[in-house]
Amino acid sequence: MKYSDIPGWFYPIDQAGFAWVLEFQNDTAPPGDLLELGAFQGKSAILMGQKLKPGERLTVCDLFEDVVTWDGANPVEKAFFGDKTPTRQAFEANYLTFHKALPVIVQGPTGDICRHVAPGSCRFVHIDASHVYANVREDTASARALLQDTGVVVFDDYRKPQCLGTAAAVWEAILNEGLQPVFATDAKLYATWGDPEPLRAAIIARARASDWCRTGDPVAIRDMQIVRLVRNGR
């Protein structure tokens, strides 16, 4: 199996975004664990696992096939999966194609993650689970509790019309709770409760050195300048 054969919506622009953030952290930040809330079939988790440093661990939390029976699931999301309902077996098979051992797997609601991961232990959290407002708010609060001071949180589907619950939760954290956007793609928003400037500068430098992507004109919101990472030709 090739990496590109794994089903999912983890596009090359965000594969680069994840890799550049994690490599920047590997060079500049203290050791810390990685966490993914919502895994589907493992495409983003595989990349995250490739960037672990010795002694760090990756934890993945997902309902997998239990999504069809969970009371808190969004009916729209359940209908979306249909016959594509993710399974733990598929995730594990895909992950082991590229790694010798599985990450720590928590099969259950992401709202329980703080029972399994220690406060302040993570340097990177990817939130790609429920798109229900209350659930994303809970996942955002968990990320803040679990991240180191300089840690990075990545939100999927922060701008799609069918994911307005995610958008509301993300912007509430930005406008009212000190979350600082670092950069954005069409699919994901990268942010931190720490100082965004060192990472933002590193991402801009990596994009300038790239022959296939670039940073678009920044978007000004209040006193923030949100950098956009886009493919060339867009």
Mean per-residue pLDDT for 131-148? 96
Higher pLDDT, 1 or 96: 96
Task: Work out the angle at residue 129's Cα, subtended by the Cα atoms of residues 105 and 5, and round it to the nearest 5 degrees.
Answer: 75
Residue ranges and CATH numbers for the domains of the chain are 3-231 (3.40.50.150)
* Whether pLDDT at 215 is above 70: yes
Mean pLDDT of the chain: 93
Q: What is the pTM of this model?
A: 0.94
Give residue 73's pLDDT.
Answer: 58
Does pLDDT of 204 surpass 70?
Answer: yes
pLDDT tens for 145-195 read 999 999 999 999 999 988 999 999 999 999 999 999 999 999 999 999 999
pLDDT top residue among 221 and 67? 221
Q: What is the pLDDT of residue 217?
A: 85
Q: Please count the CA atoms within 13 angstroms of the CA of 222 that sit on its side-chain side.
A: 9
Q: What is the pLDDT of residues 26-83, one digit of tens each?
A: 999 999 999 999 999 999 999 999 999 999 999 999 999 887 666 655 665 655 555 6
